[in-house]
Amino acid sequence: MAEKVKPGKGASQDKKEWWEEEFQGEWWKGVDWIKDHGAEPSGIMLFVDYMLDKAIITPDAVKIASLIPHRLILLEIVHPTKGAEQLSFMISPTSVNPGLPDAEPDLVLSFNYYDLARFLMDKEKDFTMPFWLGRARIYGNLTVLIDLADILEVAKGKKIDKAKENRPFIWPVGHP
C-alpha cells in the first residue's frame, strides 16, 4: 500500500523565492556604503545611502542628471515580508524625500526591495531589468525610467557616451 502524503508537505511548500536564496543571513553587513549595520535597512535608507555615498558624489552622474529635464518620480519599494515604502525622487533639481510627492509624479515605479538591493550592490548592472522581466511595475512616462536608470547606472561606472548610445533613437537624453 502506498504511503500517504501528509498535507502541507508538498514540494511546492519547500520552494524558496529567488530573493531568499540570494539574500541570506545578515547580508547587509558586508556592504560598505550602508551606514547602519544593526538591522536590515529599510528600502528608503538603502536608496538614500546609495544616493548620498555614490550617485551625488559621482561627477558623471551629476553631469548626465543636468541634461535631463525636471522629473518627479514616486518610487514604491515593496519588501516581500515588511510591506511597501514610498519615496519621492526629483531630478533637476535633485531631491529625495520619504513619502508621497505633493504633485502628480511623471512616473510611478513599484519594485521589489531585493531587486533594488541587487542593483545597488552590483549584482545586476541593469536598473531596468526587473521591469522588462515583469517583476516590477511602471505607471507613467517611460522616458523618465530611462533617465533614472541612466543616472544610477552612470553612478555605478557606466560611461555617459554608452548611456547615450543605449537610449532609443526617438528619446535621446533630455527628451521630455
Q: How far apart are CA 39 and CA 41, in angstroms?
A: 6
Number of residues that bind another protein (CB under 8 A): 21
How many other CB atoms are found less than 10 A from the CB of residue 11?
6
Rounded CA gap, 8 and 14, in Å?
A: 10
Q: Contact between 138 and another protein (CB under 8 A)?
A: yes
Per the structure block, which three cell numbers stand in for 27? 547580508
Binding part of the chain for another protein, among 45-53, 59-67, 111-119, 167-175 by CB under 8 A, reads 167-175
Residue 164 within binding range of another protein, rule CB under 8 A? no
103 near another protein, judged by CB under 8 A: no
- Contact yes or no for 27/126 (Cβ under 8 A): no
Name the amino acid, one letter, at 16: K
Residue 83 engages another protein in binding (rule: CB under 8 A)? no
CB 68 within 8 A of CB 147: yes
**Of these, 79, 126, 156, 164, which contacts another protein (CB under 8 A)?**
126
Shortest Å, Cβ 119 to another protein:
13
Site for another protein in 10-29 (CB under 8 A): none
* Per CB under 8 A, 142 contacts another protein: yes
Q: Decide: is 161 part of the binding site for another protein (CB under 8 A).
A: no
Nearest to 166 by CA among 134, 122, 137, 128: 128
**Chain positions contacting another protein, by CB under 8 A:** 69, 126, 128-129, 132-134, 137-140, 142, 166-170, 172, 174-176
